[in-house]
């Protein structure tokens, strides 16, 4: 990989490889790197979804459903941040494709529970296998220590973006995972 700048890229003249950054330069560099990762991640998500004939939101819901055995639609709405009608439409397409099953609640017939079918679990396994192949060269290029520092910085960003409340001594990763778990198990975002 070349150190030559990409045409049109913003260059920070005061920053040289290995040079110490001021806090504002470091924050700017992190923000811009995050933006590039988001754009690349969305591109990769579209490619993955297209390869299996699904939309990105459908893939997101399949992966969310893979984290549990069965979940009420209200929890999927809370986790995704989408309107109930939007989630309903996405689930309709997944049900038509035979990837999810919807069932009325036993105790509360108004509640609709969703789970993956065996075909849905197979689709998630295919997506995960592809993702592992994509990450393998990245893992080979990035040293373990560098990856841990980058992950910690990204967890801090995720905490701030999500408005996650945490104590001063709670690591950002724990806080993000705690809130994620609450959404999946309780269907609420606090």
What Å distances lie between residue 176 and 31, 57, 163, 171, CA to CA?
19, 21, 10, 9
Place of tokens 């999927």: 76
Band (181; pLDDT cuts 50, 70, 90): low
The predicted-structure confidence for 117-136, as pLDDT tens digits, reads as follows 999 999 999 999 998 998 88
The verdict on 44 and 118 lying in the same domain is yes
The verdict on 48 and 129 lying in the same domain is yes
- Lowest-confidence segment of 2-11, 58-67, 98-107 by average pLDDT: 2-11
Tokens coding 182: 């609450």
153, part of any domain: yes
Q: What is the DSSP letter of 88?
A: H
The predicted-structure confidence for 92-115, as pLDDT tens digits, reads as follows 999 999 999 998 877 777 778 999
Strand partners, 113: 72, 103
Domain holding 147, by residue range, is 143-190
14, part of any domain: no
The pTM assigned to this predicted structure is 0.69
């Amino acid at each position: 990989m070349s150190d030559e700048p990409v045409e049109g890229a913003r260059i920070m003249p005061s920053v040289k490889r290995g040079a110490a950054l001021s806090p504002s330069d470091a924050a700017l560099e992190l923000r811009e790197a995050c933006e590039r990762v988001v754009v690349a991640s969305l591109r990769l998500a579209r490619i993955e979804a297209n390869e299996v004939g699904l939309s990105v939101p459908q893939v997101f819901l399949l992966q969310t459903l893979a984290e549990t055995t069965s979940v009420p639609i209200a929890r999927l709405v809370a986790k995704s941040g989408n309107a109930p009608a939007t989630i309903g439409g996405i689930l309709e397409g997944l049900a038509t494709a035979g990837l999810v099953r919807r069932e009325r609640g036993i105790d509360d017939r108004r509640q609709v529970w969703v789970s993956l079918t065996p075909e849905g679990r197979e689709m998630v396994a295919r997506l995960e296998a592809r993702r592992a192949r994509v990450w393998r060269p990245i893992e080979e290029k990035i040293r373990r220590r560098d990856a841990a520092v980058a992950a910690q910085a990204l967890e801090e960003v995720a905490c701030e973006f999500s408005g996650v409340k945490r104590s001063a001594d709670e690591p950002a990763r724990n806080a993000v995972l705690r809130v994620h778990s609450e959404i999946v198990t309780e269907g609420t975002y606090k």
